[in-house]
Structure 1
Amino acid sequence: MKDMMGLLKQAQAMQAKVQDMQAALEQITVEGHAGGGLVKITLTVKGQIRSVSIDPSLLKPEEKEIVEDLVALAYENARHQAEQIMEEKMREVTGGMQLPF
C-alpha cells in the first residue's frame, strides 16, 4: 500500500509539472519563414497565430497564388518547430516516459 501511495504522489507531481509546462508553452513563440523570408508567421508553441508578415513586393494581384502558398509553407514551418519544442518540453517533464497526452 505504501508503494501505491508513493506512485500516486509521483503521478500527481507529474500532472502538476505537465500543467505548468502547458502554461509555459503558451508564452513560447516560433517563427516560420517561406520565400526566403518574404512571408513570416509567428505562432505560439500551442499553435495560436500571433502575427503574419508579408513583404510588400508580394502584394500584387498576379502574385496571389504564390502568397497563398508561401503563407501555408510558413505556417507549416512554424508548426513543425512548435511540435519539436513541445516534444522536447514533454520529455523534460516526464523524464522521457511516453504518456498518452
Structure 2
Amino acid sequence: MIKGLGGLGDMAKMMKAAKDMQGKMQKMQEDLERVTVTGESGAGLVKATCTAKGELTALDIDPSIFQPTEKEVVEDLILAAIKDAQRRAQDKMQSEMSRVTSELGLPADMKLPF
C-alpha cells in the first residue's frame, strides 16, 4: 500500500462539496431574479418594484401627486421609492445568502462573490 493517498478521499469530498455549493449558488442567483420587492415613499403614493438583485421592474405613481408646482417633490418621492426598493432588494439578497451559507455549513457572515 502506498502511504499518503488517504487524503485523496478527502479531496474528492471537498471537490463534491464545492460542486454542490456552486450548484446551490447558481440556483439562488436564478431565484433572486424572480423574487421581487417593493419600496415606497410618500405613504405609498410612489411605489418602486425591483428584483431581489436590484433591477428596477416597475414604478407606480398615484396621479394625485401630479401638480406642476410640486415637480421637485414628485422627483424626490420617486427617488426615495427606488432607493427603498433597492435597499429591500439588498436585504433580501443578504437573507438568501445567509440561508444558503447556513445550509452549506458555512459561517453566516461569510462573504461569497457576486
Larger radius of gyration: 2
Tell me the equivalent position of 2:88: 81
Moved over 3 A (4+): none
Tell me if 1:34 matches 2:41.
Answer: yes
Q: How far does the alpha carbon of each residue in 1:24-75 deviate from its partner, in whole angstroms, 9 at most, with x for none?
A: 1111111101011110011111112121111111112211111111111111
Tell me the equivalent position of 1:13: 20
Tell me if 1:98 matches 2:111.
Answer: yes
Any idea what SS the aligned residue of 1:53 has?
A: strand
Q: Which runs of 5+ in 2 are unaligned?
A: 1-7, 103-107
Q: How far 1:5 sits from its partner (Å)?
A: 1.4
Q: How far 1:98 sits from its partner (Å)?
A: 3.1
Take 1:58 and 1:9, find their aligned partners in 2: how far apart are those partners? 56
Q: Which runs of 5+ in 1 are unaligned?
A: none
State the TM-score, normalized to the length of structure 2. 0.83
State the TM-score, normalized to the length of structure 1. 0.92
Take 1:18 and 1:79, find their aligned partners in 2: how far apart are those partners? 21
What is the one-letter code of the residue matched to 2:74? V
Any idea what SS the aligned residue of 2:34 has?
A: coil
- The RMSD of aligned alpha carbons is 1.1
Q: How many residues align?
A: 101
Tell me if 1:67 matches 2:80.
Answer: no
Indicate the structure whose relative CO is greater, using CA pairs within 8 Å and at least 6 residues apart. 1
Overall identity of the aligned pairs, in %: 47
